[in-house]
């Protein structure tokens, strides 16, 4: 297992944890995790990389070891946090980005907003959410207000072994060894046991509806190469992308989109097929 080190940087006034692998002089590769995940979750992919990279992987605000908001989270903040991270780590050179799920959504939006800052990107199932109807707004706001009033908390598990067992229950493809490793980083100590290492405010429903038209308008400005990867058995894709036709329309927004589908993989491709993901990354990004 390749060794990582941790650094803490101040981005936009918040203390953000950044996990680093490899020599600082090697080409940079930014790995961006998804919702309710952490940077260490990419360990299996990093272990599969054959070339020398300086891998830079932040814990998004409110996840892992990064500072919490302690209140609501707004998606544009992740885009601004990525902009600040790149300004800190790669102030002049366009970056190579790899984003999973939420991290993929952040990366693809950023690529359309700041195309000059992105050399190319690999999108691991970060293709947006299901389209929404304005008629959903009243109920969404009411739900959000209810959660603001009542607060939120994550479930407490007896220990990390119980947490790892839950990870394997949710994803049977996880080996016991990988589940144990993830439990060390995804869980944190709390009264009575361990719980997810994340701000419970992430559980609040977002009162702002997802607007696919806006996302598509931004994606159309991303002219760099984009490799779009999905798992052949992804329940996430079935839930959030209404149809194959809709998926094709989303991919068509990118000027230079390539595709890959990984067999025997669900939504967490970086856990299910990390060696294959690593191979796709290195085949996609030039040496």
Domain boundaries, the chain: 4-131+211-284
* Bridge partners (DSSP) listed for residue 15: 10
* pLDDT attached to residue 132: 95
Main-chain dihedrals φ then ψ at residue 8, nearest 5 degrees: -120, 130
Please check whether residue 68 is in contact with residue 85, taking contact to mean a CB–CB distance below 8 angstroms: no
Q: Which DSSP letter does residue 27 get?
A: P
CATH T-level fold of 4-131+211-284 = Rossmann fold (3.40.50)
3-state secondary structure of 202: helix
d(CA 259, CA 161): 37
Length of the chain: 287
d(CA 272, CA 266): 7
Instruction: Tell me the per-residue pLDDT of 30-49, one tens digit each, with 9 for 90 and over.
Output: 999 999 999 999 999 999 99
* Phi/psi-derived region of residue 251, left when phi > 0, alpha when psi is between -120 and 50, beta in every other case: alpha
pLDDT per residue as tens, the chain (287 positions)? 999 999 999 999 999 999 999 999 999 999 999 999 999 999 999 999 999 999 999 999 999 999 999 999 999 999 999 999 999 999 999 999 999 999 999 999 999 999 999 999 999 999 999 999 999 999 999 999 999 999 888 999 999 999 999 999 999 999 999 999 999 999 999 999 999 999 999 999 999 999 999 999 999 999 999 999 999 999 999 999 999 999 999 999 999 999 999 999 999 999 999 999 999 999 999 87
Residue with tokens 């299901």: 130
> What's this model's pTM, rounded to 2 decimal places?
0.96
Token reading at 180: 């144990």
CB neighbours of 76 closer than 8 A, spacing ≥ 6? none
Instruction: Tell me the per-residue pLDDT of 241-269, one tens digit each, with 9 for 90 and over.
Output: 999 999 999 999 999 999 999 999 999 99
- Cβ-in-10-Å burial (0-12, 13-18, 19+) of 221 comes to middle
Token reading at 241: 């992308």
- DSSP characters for 70-125? SS---HHHHHHHHHHHHHHH-SSSPEEEEEETHHHHHHHHHHHHSGGGEEEEEEES
* pLDDT attached to residue 286: 86
């Amino acid at each position: 297992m390749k060794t990582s080190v941790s650094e803490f940087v101040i981005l936009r006034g918040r203390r953000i944890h950044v996990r680093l692998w490899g020599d600082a002089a090697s080409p940079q590769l930014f790995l961006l995790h998804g919702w309710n995940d952490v940077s260490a979750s990419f360990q299996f992919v990093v272990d599969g990389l054959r070339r020398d990279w300086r891998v830079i992987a932040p814990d998004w605000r409110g996840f892992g070891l990064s500072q919490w908001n302690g209140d609501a989270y707004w998606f544009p903040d992740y885009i601004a946090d990525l902009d600040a991270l790149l300004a800190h780590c790669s102030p002049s050179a366009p970056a190579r980005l790899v984003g999973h799920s939420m991290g993929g959504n952040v990366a693809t939006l950023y690529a359309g907003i700041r195309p000059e800052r992105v050399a190319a990107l690999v999108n691991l199932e970060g293709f947006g959410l299901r389209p929404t109807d304005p008629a959903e707004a009243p109920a969404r706001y009411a739900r959000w207000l209810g959660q603001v009033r009542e607060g939120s908390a994550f479930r407490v598990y007896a220990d990390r072994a119980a947490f790892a067992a839950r990870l394997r229950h949710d994803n049977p493809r996880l080996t016991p060894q990988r589940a144990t490793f993830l439990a060390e980083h995804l869980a944190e100590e709390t009264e009575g046991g361990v719980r997810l290492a994340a701000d419970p405010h992430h559980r609040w429903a977002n009162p702002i509806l997802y607007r696919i038209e806006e996302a598509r308008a931004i994606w159309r400005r991303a002219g760099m190469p984009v490799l779009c990867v999905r798992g052949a058995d992804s329940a996430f894709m079935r839930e959030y992308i209404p149809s194959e036709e809709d998926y094709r329309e989303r991919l068509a927004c990118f000027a230079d989109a390539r595709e890959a589908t990984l067999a025997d993989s669900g939504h967490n491709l970086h856990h299910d097929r990390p060696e294959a993901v690593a191979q796709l990354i290195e085949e996609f990004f030039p040496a």
